A and B are shown apart, each in its own frame.
Chain A
Amino acid sequence: MSAQENMITMQKVNKWYGDFHVLKDINLTIKKGEKVVICGPSGSGKSTTIRCLNHLEKFQKGTITINGVELTDDQKVVRHIRSDVGMVFQHFNLFPHLSVLENLLLAPIWVQKKPRKEAIKTAMYYLERVKIAEQAHKYPNQLSGGQQQRVAIARCLCINPNVMLFDEPTSALDPEMVSEVLDVMVELADEGITMICVTHEMGFAKKVADRVIFMDAGQIIEENEPNAFFDNPQSDRLKLFLEQILSH
Chain B
Amino acid sequence: MAVYALKEAQSAPSTNKGLLFWLRENLFSDMTNSFFTLLGCYFIYLILPPLVDWMIIDATWTGSKEEIVKDGARWIFIIEKFDQFMYGFYPEQLHWRPNLVALLAIAFMLAMKFVHNSKVKIAFILLLPVVSFILISGGWFGLETVETEKWGGLMLTIIVAAVGIIASFPIGIVLALGRQSDMPIVKTLSVGFIEFIRGVPLITILFMASVVLPLFFHDGMDFNKLLRALIGITLFQSAYIAEVIRGGLQAIPKGQYEAADSLGLGYWQAMILVILPQALKISIPNIVGSFIALFKDTTLVLIIGLFDVLAMVTLTTSDSNWLGFEVEGYVFVTLIYWVICFSMSQYSKSIERKFNTEH
A residues whose Cβ falls under 8 Å from a Cβ of B? 54-56, 75, 79, 82-83, 85-87, 89, 91, 93-97, 106-107, 110-111, 139, 141-142, 155-156, 159
Shortest beta-carbon distance from A120 to chain B in Å: 17
Distance, CA A87 to CA B255, complexed state (A): 12
Chain A residues within 8 Å of B357, by CB: 96-97, 139, 141
Residues of B within 8 A of A85 (CB): 262
Q: Is B264 an interface residue (CB 8 A)?
A: yes
Interface residues of B in 244-286 (CB under 8 A from A): 253, 255-256, 258-266, 269, 273-274, 277-278, 281
Q: By DSSP majority rule, is chain B's interface helix, strand, loop, or mixed?
A: helix
Other A-B contacts than A91-B255, A106-B273, A156-B263, 17 sampled, CB-CB below 8 A, are A54-B262, A56-B261, A56-B262, A75-B266, A87-B258, A87-B262, A91-B253, A94-B259, A95-B260, A97-B355, A97-B357, A107-B263, A111-B265, A141-B357, A141-B358, A141-B359, A159-B264
Q: Is the Cβ of B358 less than 8 Å from the Cβ of A111? A: no
> Is the beta-carbon distance between B258 and A56 smaller than 8 angstroms?
yes
Inter-chain contact A110/B281, CB cutoff 8 Å? no
Q: Could you list 14 A-B pairs, sorted by A, with CB under 8 Å?
A: A82-B264, A83-B264, A93-B253, A93-B258, A95-B256, A95-B260, A97-B357, A106-B265, A107-B263, A110-B269, A111-B264, A111-B265, A141-B358, A156-B263
Are B263 and A159 in contact, with the CB atoms below 8 A? Answer: yes
Question: Chain A contacts of B358 at CB under 8 A?
Answer: 96, 141
Q: How many residues of B contact A (CB 8 A)?
A: 22
* B334 vs chain A, min Cβ distance (A): 39
- Distance to closest chain B CB from A210 (angstroms): 24
Give Cα A93–Cα B61 distance, bound, in whole angstroms.
63
- Give residues of chain B (324-359) contacting chain A, Cβ–Cβ below 8 Å: 355, 357-359
Closest to B256 in A: A93
**CB pair A95 B274 closer than 8 Å:** yes
A139 to B263, CA, bound (A): 19
Interface centre among A75, A86, A89, A96 (most CB of B within 10 A): A96
Among A107, A110, A139, A159, which residue has its beta carbon within 8 angstroms of that of B359?
A139
Inter-subunit contact A106/B255 (CB<8 Å): no
Residue of A nearest to B259 (CB): A93
B229 to chain A, nearest CB (A): 37
Report the bound CA distance from A110 to B269 in whole Å: 8
Bound form: Cα–Cα A4–B165 in Å:
58
B60 to chain A, nearest CB (A): 55
**Residue numbers in B under 8 Å from A87 (CB-CB):** 258-259, 262
A96 to B281, CA, bound (A): 11
Which residues of the other chain, A, contact B262 by a CB distance below 8 angstroms?
54, 56, 82, 85-87
- Establish whether residues A107 and B278, one from each chain, have CB atoms under 8 Å apart when the complex forms: no
Chain B residue at smallest Cβ distance from A91:
B255
- Give 6 closest A-B pairs by Cβ, nearest first: A93-B259, A93-B255, A107-B263, A82-B264, A83-B264, A111-B264
Q: Which residue of B lies closest to A112 (CB)?
A: B264
Of the residues A79, A89, A95, A97, contact of B264 by C-beta under 8 Å: A79
For residue B268, give the distance in angstroms from its CB to the closest CB of chain A: 10
- Of the candidates A95, A141, A142, A159, which one forms a contact with B259 in the assembled complex, judged by CB atoms under 8 Å apart? A95
CA gap between A155 and B264 in the complex, in Å: 12
Shortest C-beta distance, A112 to chain B (Å), equals 8
Task: Tell me, in angstroms, the Cα distance from A94 to B256 when the chains sit together.
Answer: 7
Cβ contact within 8 Å between B273 and A110: yes
* CB proximity of A80 to chain B, nearest CB, Å: 8
Q: Are A111 and B263 in contact (CB under 8 A)?
A: yes
Q: Out of B259, B265, B277, B355, which one reaches A110, CB within 8 Å?
A: B265
Nearest Cβ on chain A to B279's Cβ, whole angstroms: 10
Q: What is the distance, in angstroms, from B266's C-beta to the closest C-beta of chain A?
A: 7
Structural contact, B277 and A97, CB atoms closer than 8 A: yes
CA distance A107 to B273 in the complex (A): 10
Contacts A95-B256, A106-B273 given: A142-B261 contact, CB under 8 Å? no
Contact indicator B263/A89 (Cβ below 8 Å): no
Q: How far is the CA of A159 from the CA of B281 in the complex (A)?
A: 28
Q: Which residues of A contact B255 (CB under 8 A)?
A: 89, 91, 93
B269 — nearest CB in chain A belongs to which residue?
A110
Chain A nearest CB: distance from B114 CB in Å? 23
* A193 shortest CB reach to chain B, Å: 16
A79 CB contacts on chain B under 8 angstroms: 264, 266
Most buried by B among A54, A55, A97, A110: A97
CA distance A54 to B265 in the complex (A): 13
Determine how close the nearest CB of chain A comes to the CB of B274; give it in whole angstroms.
Answer: 5
A97 touches B261 (CB 8 A): no
**Identity of the chain B residue whose Cβ is nearest the Cβ of A90 in the assembled complex:** B255
Chain A nearest CB: distance from B354 CB in Å?
12
**Contact B258 A106, beta carbon cutoff 8 Å:** no
Residue of A nearest to B357 (CB): A139
Specify the chain B residue showing the minimal Cβ separation from A85.
Answer: B262
Task: Report the minimum CB–CB distance from B342 to chain A (whole Å).
Answer: 28
In whole angstroms, how far apart are the Cα atoms of A55 and B260 in the complex?
A: 13
Task: Tell me the B31-53 residues at the A interface (CB within 8 Å).
Answer: none
Which residues of A have CB within 8 Å of B259?
87, 89, 93-95
In B68-116, the 8 Å CB interface with A consists of none
* A55–B255 CA distance with the chains assembled, in angstroms: 14
CA distance A241 to B124 in the complex (A): 66
Contact digits for B296-334, partner A, Cβ 8 Å, 1 yes 0 no: 000000000000000000000000000000000000000
CB distance from B245 to the nearest CB of A (A): 16
Give which listed residue, A82, A86, A96, A139, contacts B261 with CB less than 8 A.
Answer: A82
Interface pair A107/B264, CB less than 8 Å apart:
yes
Within the complex, the shortest CB–CB distance from A34 to chain B, in Å, comes to: 21
